[in-house]
Each structure stands twice: as C-alpha cells, then as structure tokens.
Amino acid sequence: MTILTLGNDLLRQKAEPVKDIDDGSRAIAGEMIEAVHAGTGVGLAGPQVGLMKRIFVVHVGGDVPRVFINPSITATSAETAKYEEGCLSIPGAWADVIRAQAVQIQGWNEKGRPFTMDADGILARVILHEYDHLEGVLFIDRLSVPKRNRLLAKMERQVLARPGK
Ligand code: NI
C-alpha cells in the first residue's frame, strides 16, 4: 500500500460508507494493519491509502490491532488532553494537539460484527485522529493558525535542505 502525503487531494475528501463487510474488506483491513506495522504509525485510515471508504485501523502499544468500519463517535469527554501527534501522511511533522481525553465509538469490525467501545488516553487520541481522516481532516487543522504556519514552514525548510534539492 502506498501512503498518500500532504498535498494529495484525496486526504481532504470525505470517505464513503463501506457497503458490504466481506472478504474484500477483511483483506484490506489486514493490509492496512501490515502497513501500520511497516511504518512507524499507530493507525491508518482508508483515505491515506487512496481508499475513500470509512475504514481505519489502530494498533497502539500493549493493545491488539483494531479495525473500525463505518464508525460513529457516540460520545466524547468534556475533559481534554494535550499530546504530541504525528501522521504517516505528514512525515516529519509533530505537534501537540488538544483532543477529548475519552471517546465512545460504535462501528463494525472486520468480521462484520457491530461493537461499541469506550477508550481513553492514547487509544482515544488515535481513534479520534483516524476518524478525522474519514472526514478529510488532518491533525494540523486542529492547531492554531500561527502554530500550523510555523510547522508547515519548518517542513518546507526540511524538504529544501534534503540533498538533491
Ligand atoms: Ni494520520
């Protein structure tokens, strides 16, 4: 799977519901989990690999890999937390992002079974980050404008400093 990076329009589009959870979606979920393991990420959403479907996978340390198909966020805590985030689609960029500390999410797993789960801490953060991808939202959108501009300028300098540029 090729991971699309910032500047690709697909990352800015809203993903469509998965119509049938079948062998095809199971295979895709498996490949997405492999892609997460191959990279340095903790999650991956369909649009990041050009698949405009409402599916994402999450694998945080100490937990099992989890697949979310057609998810909906059913509750978020009023309490927020700040933590440094990165994204496989925005290589080299890291910034503190404020998000709800806990989340309740409903969806279907790769076997087509519905589930509801409550998550907090890092797992909640990764779920919210990946869910954003289904809406065409990136973590840099959740920074203040000056912070985002500073981060983008820094990334541009890094690109310009690479050999061969
Ligand atoms: Ni991401």
Residue 71 placed within a domain? yes
Element (H, E) at 160: helix 145-161
pLDDT tens figures, 66-121: 999 999 999 999 999 999 999 999 988 999 999 999 999 999 999 999 999 999 99
Tokens standing for residue 158: 């890094």
Coil, helix or strand at residue 156? helix
Contact assessment for residue 134 and residue 15, using Cβ atoms and an 8 Å cutoff: yes
Main-chain dihedrals φ then ψ at residue 106, nearest 5 degrees: -120, 140
Residue 1 placed within a domain? no
**Residue found by looking up tokens 């404020």 in the block:** 98
End-to-end alpha carbon distance in the chain: 26
Residue 76 placed within a domain? yes
Active-site residue 16, yes or no?
Answer: no
Please tell me the distance between residue 108's alpha carbon and the centre of ligand 1 in angstroms. Answer: 20
Which pLDDT band holds residue 163 (cuts at 50, 70, 90)?
confident
Residue 165 placed within a domain? no
Cα–Cα distance between 9 and 20 in angstroms, integer?
26
**Number of folded domains that form the chain:** 1
Please tell me the distance between residue 5's alpha carbon and the centre of ligand 1 in angstroms. Answer: 10
Domain limits for position 28: 9-160
Tokens standing for residue 27: 């295979």
Please tell me the distance between residue 36's alpha carbon and the centre of ligand 1 in angstroms. Answer: 11
Residue 17 placed within a domain? yes
- CATH value at residue 125: 3.90.45.10
Residue 2 placed within a domain? no
Report pTM. 0.94
Catalytic residue, from 79, 130, 135, 156: name it.
130
Residue 3 placed within a domain? no
Q: Residue 57's beta-bridge partner residues?
A: 44, 67
